[in-house]
Chains A and B, each alone.
Chain A
């Protein structure tokens, strides 16, 4: 009975993940966002059915149990690791001063502003206010990159600078998440010492390990990375810190190695997106309580405004100072106001550790999702850097002349 129940729960969760995948393909939306929305709908529908005692339905059937929590946590660690590993190390070294200044200001200003607003105006407890500040300090590298790919800005110096600054912002977020709630005792010292040694040795060792074992079907290299992530994560948890902190740092440290292991990264990505991140994003969505959103609607709007305004105060003057034009500065500021993955990870950390309650979590996740959409729409509609016709034709010609890749098209287009 117990085993069948376990398979049943797994079937429900993977069924939801399948529905989210199909919807994301149908409506050309991000699968992560659709998974969160699917989780919100499924979780609240389940609650409503349980309240009506519909066919004896009980909400706890959809409540994440221990193994779902593990898979969701593993998903968030790997998401963070892969986010760190996505950077090109040379990007960070280029325009170092501008990158660090803009990135750090982009973290610090909203972190301080949102924490202060939650604590002094909304009357949240101190730890809840810190979670609010951390969740709203983020910048979504993926959203920024997606917008830049569309405009071609990712190939320009301006685009590369903005992308590198986004990584610094996220670094600030994960360090804050790891540092604000840690126990400052020997466990933290142990974690710090081991982390420094691992980060120092890992690039060279992993590079050698991959070159020796990369072609094996059992993927010893991937297992070694998982081992490092779990080991450092457990030490971080021992210090009451957060496992995503070492995951991001290890990702940054191994970015150069992974840039040369594209096939391994592709397989790892397939595993993560097919099986692990759906549990994370569905879980993040299921914990959003819709009635709390209605009650907190005003606060949602205000917190979104606080985030965007604080990003403007932190980023805009520096963007101007480092030589960007007014339009480019507006654009950069708005793009750096976006957030998604790290925002939800921070909010979920707060909920799981009881720093925030269900209503506060629901409000924060909604603000995070809104911050992924609203600044992007504003930036794209009114502040997109102007492109000369010649540039447009050049880009189009490049795309048309690009040689075919190995992957085959989903459906060949037949003319009659």
Chain B
């Protein structure tokens, strides 16, 4: 039923559950697994150096998360690919899923802070509303 699964991970406790569920489904269906992290950087900044520092810090952080995800999946017999992209989480997850033609996205319920959710809507809501494929929400 599922040939290609995308797990959206950000290093939070919820995304650990996301990865566990995605790996389990991938193992059951023999599906390909992609672990995707989206680095959201602030756009309103005062210095170019500030951007570079935030970017390097985010890249490093998400690279380690990706490595940990790959290690975890391999320990359960799944060989995933891991990617990091920059941008707004919802739109990048959707764009990536379409570019890779995935047929299941697994993501967590919690992401943004309450304030950000109030103004922007949650990543989960936006992905489930706009994505072409099946979306599984892990609580």
Contacts and interface: CB of A to CB of B under 8 A. Distances in A.
Interface string B8-40: 000100001001100000000000000010001
B65 interface: yes
Contacts of A404: 60, 63
Chain B facing A: main interface SS:
helix
A341 B95 CA distance: 33
A167 to B, nearest CB: 10
Contact of A415 (B16, B42, B45): B16
B68 to A, nearest CB: 5
A28 B10 CA distance: 14
A288 interface: no
Given A83-B47, A145-B48, A400-B82, A392 B96 contact: yes
Given A86-B49, A142-B50, A393-B99, A149 B86 contact: yes
B55 A413 contact: no
Interface residues of A, number: 58
A372 B55 CA distance: 19
Interface in B70-99: 71-72, 81-88, 95-96, 98-99
Interface string A144-157: 01110111100000
Contacts of A66: none
Contacts of B99: 389-390, 392-393
B86 A341 contact: no
Residue from B42, B55, B56, B68 having most chain A Cβ neighbours under 10 A? B42
A219 B117 CA distance: 46
Given A389-B98, A405-B60, A32 B71 contact: no
Contacts of B1: none
A415 B85 contact: no
A146 B47 CA distance: 9
Max count, chain A CB within 10 A of own CB: residue among B40, B84, B100: B84
A17 interface: no
B98 A413 contact: no
A380 B43 CA distance: 10
A70 to B, nearest CB: 20
Nearest to A145: B48
B61 interface: yes
A27 interface: yes
B82 A415 contact: no
B59 A142 contact: no
Contacts of B60: 404-405, 407-409
Interface in A339-354: 340-341
Interface of A: 24, 26-33, 79, 82-83, 86, 140-143, 145-147, 149-152, 265, 269, 273, 277, 281, 340-341, 372-373, 376, 380, 387, 389-390, 392-393, 395-397, 399-400, 402, 404-405, 407-416
A-B complex: 5 closest residue pairs judged by Cβ atoms: A32-B46, A389-B99, A415-B72, A396-B83, A399-B84
Interface of B: 11, 16, 19-20, 36, 40-51, 53, 55-57, 59-66, 68-69, 71-72, 81-88, 95-96, 98-100, 113, 115-116
